[in-house]
Amino acid sequence: MFSLHPFLAAVLLIAALPAVVIAQGPPLRRDIGKYYAQNCEACHGRNLQGGLAPSLLDDQWTHGSSDDDLAKIIRDGVPDAMEGYKDELSEAEIRAMVIFIRERRAGFSSSENRPTRTLPGDPVQTEEHAYRVEIVADRLSTPWGMTFLPDGRMLFTEKSGELRVVENGQLAPAPIRGTPAVRDSGQGGLMEVAVHPRYAENGWVYLAFSDPATRDGQGVSLTKIVRGKLRDGAWVEQETIWQAPLEFYRPGGGVHFGCRIVFDRDGYLFFSHGERGRQDDAQNRKLPNGKIHRIHDDGRIPADNPFANEPGAFASIWTYGNRNPQGLALDPRTGLLWESEHGPRGGDELNLIRRGANYGWPVVTFGMNYNGTPITPLTGREGIEPPVSHWTPSIAVCGIDFYTGDAFPKWKNNLLVTALAQQELRRVVIEDNKVTRQEVLVKDLGRVRDVQTGPDGAIYVALNQPDRIVRLVPVK
């Protein structure tokens, strides 16, 4: 007869317990890639290349090519060919599956590991212009933000905390002395540098960074904005322009700082503040993170800000529901403010920033979680400002700038868009506030962090890994 030793039986019982608890709890959040492997792969192939059923990679769609068309087939199936999955998958999971199929089509999963190439020696021909790549500054430490002074000097930041100068094409060996201490940790550090629109009169330079502080013995940080002046290689006359009370600071380094600064035509200072990895905070106007803010150049808060009179709200908030706004730029034709927002997996956004609007994160998004679990089936909703355009799969969108130079005349007023993971510089044509065309100008030279039009009309590009600044110059 078979019998268990009592001790062994107790161990088995305990070992079995968690499984019982899970089976009775709420359904687990599933990785949609694993779900594909278990349920779709047998027909559509391990790599979606097809087999018993058609390929999902060849852009040949019998039932329509839009996200909604794909979702409908997955939900309802095809008579006599494929069962529908509406009883198996939630709407959010069906959305995640659509993103998964788009990602695979774009080769998303391999892009993070793509080796970085050496710079092309020969001219690169694009649709409208040919360019050459020149190195401006090399062997840097994560260059992050760039700007130009009216006298032609370039200022740029390194995330580790350095503010540096390029003068007459030469990188000054020593960084500017006396800039503020930063918390260089996670995605934070010294980030943006911007110049006052009337710099020639007042000499103000602005910095945005992760401000290191201590609360209850614990290291905390949050975005802070200061301005100061450059004198004999030193940072002087510093003033704090924007800072949240200590209670709002977040532990350690962390993610999603945002941190771009742009002045509009009326001289208001706009800056972006990421949600610091706390997605629900983006909808809460009592918190500073996950927002675009508007202040005066000296830090005063404009009385006509949309939530200035809302009890408890941060009066500097201009828009909310923003995830990780890594790019801000003013359209030279209209004066309107554009924002690029680094999404989750899928759903990188290009937004037109409108007073008081809610940009939806995390209530609506075109993306899913990095681990393949869905966030929401909603890609749009009443009262939420939709993106003008979105990149799904993500390109990991970062800094943006309108091209305002004369060296590449056919690119005038095009939006230059950078991408970290996809290692791209894109040219995005915007007409009547809509994206009408996109072209990848630069590919695989490293993660592209920021882009600026130089006073010489060249396009300055900040690369990470390898960490350098290059410029694109025209080839006749």
Rounded least distance, CB 26 to ligand HEC, Å? 21
Closest listed residue to residue 379, CA positions, set 81, 133, 157, 66:
66
Closest listed residue to residue 318, CA positions, set 257, 385, 395:
385
Whether 390 sits among the annotated catalytic residues: the reply is no
Rounded least distance, CB 190 to ligand HEC, Å? 45
Summarize as ranges the residues that interact with ligand HEC (CB under 6 A). 39-40, 42-44, 52-54, 56, 61-63, 70, 73-74, 78, 81-82, 85, 97
Give Cα 454 to chain centroid, integer Å: 23
Rounded least distance, CB 45 to ligand HEC, Å? 10
Cβ closest to ligand HEC, residue 41 vs residue 456: 41
Cβ closest to ligand HEC, residue 4 vs residue 78: 78
Beta-bridged to residue 437, according to DSSP, are 429
Both tokens assigned to 165: 């100068």
How many C-beta atoms surround the C-beta of residue 381 within 10 A?
12
The answer to whether 240 and 299 have CB atoms below 8 angstroms apart is yes
The answer to whether 357 and 319 have CB atoms below 8 angstroms apart is yes
Rounded least distance, CB 64 to ligand HEC, Å? 7
Both tokens assigned to 415: 């939006």
Helices within 77-203 (DSSP H only): 91-105, 108-111, 199-202
Cβ closest to ligand HEC, residue 87 vs residue 304: 87
Rounded least distance, CB 36 to ligand HEC, Å? 6
Cβ closest to ligand HEC, residue 20 vs residue 81: 81
Question: 55-69 b/e with 16+ CB inside 10 Å = b?
Answer: ebbeeeeeeeeebee
Q: Which of 256, 273, 342, 390 is catalytic?
A: 256
173 Cβ contact list (under 8 Å, min separation 6): none
Cβ closest to ligand HEC, residue 63 vs residue 300: 63
What is the spatial distance between Cα 133 and Cα 208, in angstroms, rounded to a whole number?
29
Q: Could you give the residue numbers annotated as active site?
A: 256
